[in-house]
Structure 1
Amino acid sequence: MTDNRVEDLNIGSITPLITPDQLKKEMPISDEAVACVQQGRQTVRDILDRKDHRIFLVVGPCSIHDVDAAKDYAQRLKVLAEEVSDTLYLVMRVYFEKPRTTVGWKGLINDPFMNDTFKIQEGLHISRQLLLDLAEMGLPLSTEALDPISPQYLQDLITWSAIGARTTESQTHREMASGLSSAVGFKNGTDGSLTVATNALMSVANPHRFLGIDQSGSVSIVETNGNNYGHVVLRGGGGKPNYDSVSVSLAEQALEKADLPNNIMVDCSHENSSKKPELQPLVMDNVTNQILEGNQSIIGLMVESNIKHGRQNIPANLDDLEYGLSVTDGCISWDETEQAIRKMRDKLKDVLPKRNA
């Protein structure tokens, strides 16, 4: 018999998903978490507006795969954040979605049990509960906005969002970011190109209309106001770093030419550290020295950090996973993190208050 279908030919199944509204009713945001998110967002906006002299650091695991380890890390980070709060504002990386060049583990939301069962509904519950727990601790949180639908489920708990190098050029992600409630950092392209990021910043500041979902899960026309707190994130590319003073100066010129705010964040990982985690503290130190020498544009850093140094492959037997060790990009250890952040704070504590005077 001839198959006359003309759609869904490569679709195996379609399963209804819990709506954002239903998830939030099951797992409502507490007053403590609301206060944390509001304060965190305002602090980042104030840093970008030069009303707060501090530098903000987005620091934490490359990706979250172990909720208990994430809470352990968060408790350590909370103590350190309070210690350095006069100079640095620490925001924890809580990344649930991982972009893939070909295939691989796509993160806690997509495959929470790391066994190719893709229990996305459970992944959303696990991820939201972790965000609630961490926000109630008083930690501002960040994530990468990769899937254009997931922010409807989680964005109410996010202080700062990233758009990755693979998606900065995507119209879908630019439109989505124009409606995000948090400040958003756009990384330069994987080839090192800054043009895609400056184009993205011009786009995201403007209103957009596009197809999306509302809180009840209905397909809708989404109309945004534009996001005035977009900024560039230098992460290296094309096999070369771009955190040095010459690269930063070129980025400043590109922003000025595009009539964009002179706000630059440096990602200490990826090609800025040649994908070697042990080089991240050296990048932090270089950036610190640029500020000491008079740089006015660098407002933040990203650091991939975990309890243990390095990374591991996901084993066939998940009982063999090593606690506190990344399963995606290699990270610096907690001891290295403390040392590097304290060093940065000590160098900048007397300089930053005078920086924008």
Structure 2
Amino acid sequence: MKQTYDVHVEEFIPLISPEALKKELPLSEKAEKTVIAGRKAVQNVLMKKDDRLLVVVGPCSIHDEKAALEYAQKLNALRQKVEETLVVVMRVYFEKPRTNVGWKGLINDPDMDGSCDIVEGLRRARKLLIRINETGLPAATEMLDPITPQYIAGLVSWAAIGARTTESQTHREMASGLSMPVGFKNCTDGGLSTAINAMIAAISPQSFLGIDPNGRSSIVKTTGNPWAHIVMRGGRRPNYDSVSIMEAVEQLRDKKLAEAIVVDCSHANSKKQYQNQTTVWEDVLHQRMNGNDALVGMMLESSLHEGNQKFTKDLSELKYGVSVTDACISWETTEELLLSAHKKMLARHKAA
């Protein structure tokens, strides 16, 4: 009799269980406090109990933990300077969606050589998140693989569901059980209805297939995530302008959803030109300071050094602190943008 299952599967490699990895790399008390405080701050911004601006900023993807920690140290020092007006969360992305093929991120292929040692990737991702949180800096990531959250979600203060996966029922269900606020990006065509439907699904209780802390296949029943919100990332054209924001508010209001919008300054809003992130940032900040309180946050793709570089399997050829995925603004530009926004918002608060 011929085998009718796993015809194209070469091998099954057992994963370490989430519980075992947590015991190996436990959440420290200091990191725990950062996660709890970070989530609470983001929740308060979304509810408009806190009039600070949420800023999710950091590399497009993490491929070098040393560079990520250097960036985190710089960002944490800056976070403390601007904390009166900005809630700063570091973008720490370990999983990258691919249109066809390519490097899928630190968790999938930590050695960047096609060996795909996912157990080591999960270990390195968790270790890095612990170290970043221990500095007092909250972390954000994109949740791509529905199994991954059991390993790292306890260290994340804000999560994104990407433009390619917002339409996925699996990701909507997963988001309904996540412990942190979750932003749904509008689809790549720029339409908002998919993200709004995703928010409704994520806010609602769900039952779906997943794994438990011991790695066993399980039926996961959730209560729903009340902190789902929309992220405007552009589409066929940018959608950060005041008219697009007004239209988004109207659609959210029509569905009785929270009128809380985060704008992604990169991707289609910057027309994939990293230098344009500055233009988006300044425009959205201007709208916010002119009284549009629906604009609660912004995202920036930023690294130690500007631009990006082609991925090469010869790691010795890679430039330190330069993105291997989307092009990023430099640390110097990032610092300038945040300090300038802080100064403007502080002056406005004092004048009010």
TM-score w.r.t. the length of structure 1 is 0.97
Aligned residue identity for 2:26: P
SS of the equivalent of 2:312 reads coil
Structure-2 separation of matches of 1:296 and 1:351 = 14
Query: Are 2:147 and 2:211, in contact at CA under 8 Å, matched by a contact in 1?
Result: yes
Query: Are 1:48 and 1:299, in contact at CA under 8 Å, matched by a contact in 2?
Result: yes
Q: What percentage of residue pairs aligned between the two structures are identical?
A: 51
Structure-2 separation of matches of 1:331 and 1:151 = 26
Structure-2 separation of matches of 1:274 and 1:130 = 31
Residue 275 of structure 1 is matched in structure 2 by 272
Query: Are 1:87 and 1:352, in contact at CA under 8 Å, matched by a contact in 2?
Result: no
TM-superposition CA deviations, 1:157-208 (whole Å, max 9, x none): 0000000000001000000000000000000001101000100111111000
Q: How does 1:225-236 map to 2 (within 5 A)?
A: 225-236=223-234
Query: Are 1:53 and 1:352, in contact at CA under 8 Å, matched by a contact in 2?
Result: no
Residue 58 of structure 1 is matched in structure 2 by 56
Residue 26 of structure 2 is matched in structure 1 by 28
Query: Are 2:190 and 2:235, in contact at CA under 8 Å, matched by a contact in 1?
Result: yes
Residue 45 of structure 2 is matched in structure 1 by 47
Aligned residue identity for 1:262: E
SS of the equivalent of 1:56 reads strand
Residue 245 of structure 1 is matched in structure 2 by 242
Give the counterpart of 2:3 among 2, 5, 26: 5
SS of the equivalent of 1:58 reads strand
TM-superposition CA deviations, 1:51-73 (whole Å, max 9, x none): 11101100000000000000000
Query: Are 1:198 and 1:255, in contact at CA under 8 Å, matched by a contact in 2?
Result: yes
Structure-2 separation of matches of 1:183 and 1:109 = 22
Aligned residue identity for 1:302: M
- In the TM superposition, what is the alpha-carbon distance from 1:354 to its structure 2 partner? 9.0
- In the TM superposition, what is the alpha-carbon distance from 1:291 to its structure 2 partner? 1.3
Give the counterpart of 2:193 among 174, 192, 195: 195
Structure-2 separation of matches of 1:34 and 1:340 = 29
SS of the equivalent of 2:177 reads coil
Structure-2 separation of matches of 1:352 and 1:314 = 45
Q: Is the counterpart of residue 312 in structure 1 residue 289 in structure 2?
A: no
Alpha carbons of structure 1 residues 105 and 353: separation in structure 2 relative to 1, 3 Å: farther
Aligned residue identity for 1:306: S
Alpha carbons of structure 1 residues 353 and 220: separation in structure 2 relative to 1, 3 Å: farther
SS of the equivalent of 1:128 reads helix
Structure-1 separation of matches of 2:279 and 2:188 = 22
Aligned residue identity for 1:123: G
Aligned residue identity for 1:243: Y
Query: Are 2:90 and 2:138, in contact at CA under 8 Å, matched by a contact in 1?
Result: yes
Aligned residue identity for 2:284: V
Aligned residue identity for 1:47: V
Residue 148 of structure 2 is matched in structure 1 by 150
Alpha carbons of structure 1 residues 352 and 218: separation in structure 2 relative to 1, 3 Å: farther
Question: Which piece of structure 1 moves more, 211-220 or 344-353?
Answer: 344-353
Q: 5+ residue gaps in structure 1?
A: none
Alpha carbons of structure 1 residues 339 and 117: separation in structure 2 relative to 1, 3 Å: same
Query: Are 2:112 and 2:313, in contact at CA under 8 Å, matched by a contact in 1?
Result: no
Residue 321 of structure 2 is matched in structure 1 by 324
Query: Are 2:55 and 2:87, in contact at CA under 8 Å, matched by a contact in 1?
Result: yes
SS of the equivalent of 1:210 reads strand
Q: How does 1:92-131 map to 2 (within 5 A)?
A: 92-131=90-129
Residue 164 of structure 2 is matched in structure 1 by 166
Aligned residue identity for 2:332: D
Aligned residue identity for 2:107: I
- In the TM superposition, what is the alpha-carbon distance from 1:352 to its structure 2 partner? 5.5
Residue 89 of structure 1 is matched in structure 2 by 87
Structure-2 separation of matches of 1:202 and 1:123 = 32
